[in-house]
Amino acid sequence: MKYGIALFPSKRIQDFANSYRKRYDSHYALIPPHLTLKEPFEADDQQIKEMVKELRKIAAETDLIPLKVTKFSSFYPASNVIYLKVEPNETLQRLYERLHSGIFADKPEYVFVPHITIGRDLPSAEYADVYGQLQMQKVHFEETVDRFHLLYQLENGSWTVYETFLVGGKEQE
């Protein structure tokens, strides 16, 4: 089965992101606005049991996660992806690194750029027009996130939460 690890921002940020995603993101119906911490990976039931134990440990040792969203940005020319930039911080970086070491060890395809995708698969002309307009907008959100999620992919391509992990020394619900 295919799994991934992500964190979901507050409803306020999700609503803001979705106001663009419904028009510009081909994955709008598959997953809510999120910040990917670990790209999709394959695992069997036994591996997931071990990973869940390790994720609980990582969560218990992770501080509350500050999120500061500051602007629209893009991965152009690598791809026509438009996103909300999340300012890097030590807590987020350390969590990302822990999710790519030990039993999670892999070589990420890309350098970690914290972001929330709002547009993808746009034709070049539309991308240029949309991104040009979005760049002029002011964006500023600051919040603290107290959990991340192990997700799994359903047959229809959508993602759903397998388990939630509370950070900041909080007890698991």
Would you list the DSSP string of 22-63?
HHH-TTTTTS-S-EEEEEEEE--HHHHHHHHHHHHHHHHT--
Query: Which one is catalytic: 27, 34, 100, 140?
Result: 34
pLDDT band at 109 (very low <50, low <70, confident <90, very high): confident
Please list, residue by residue across 123-136, b when 16 or more beta carbons sit within 10 angstroms of its beta carbon and e when fewer do: eeeebeebbeebee
Query: Which one is catalytic: 100, 115, 140, 149?
Result: 115
Handedness of CA 5, 18, 28, 119 (dihedral sign): negative
**CA gap 157, 78 in Å, rounded:** 24
DSSP three-state, residue 86: strand
What are 14-68's pLDDT values in tens digits? Answer: 999 999 999 999 999 999 999 999 999 999 999 999 999 999 999 999 999 999 9
Q: What is the pTM of this model?
A: 0.93
Work out the number of other CB atoms within 10 angstroms of the CB of residue 3: 18
| Residue 115 among the catalytic residues | yes
Walk me through the domains of the chain, giving residue ranges and CATH numbers. 2-165 (3.90.1140.10)
Mean pLDDT (whole number) for 127-132: 95
pLDDT band at 171 (very low <50, low <70, confident <90, very high): low
In sequence order, the 6+-apart residues with CB closer than 8 A to the CB of 120 are: 24, 25, 26, 27, 79, 80, 81, 82
| Residue 140 among the catalytic residues | no
Q: What percent of the chain has pLDDT over 70?
A: 97
- The amino acid at 132: G
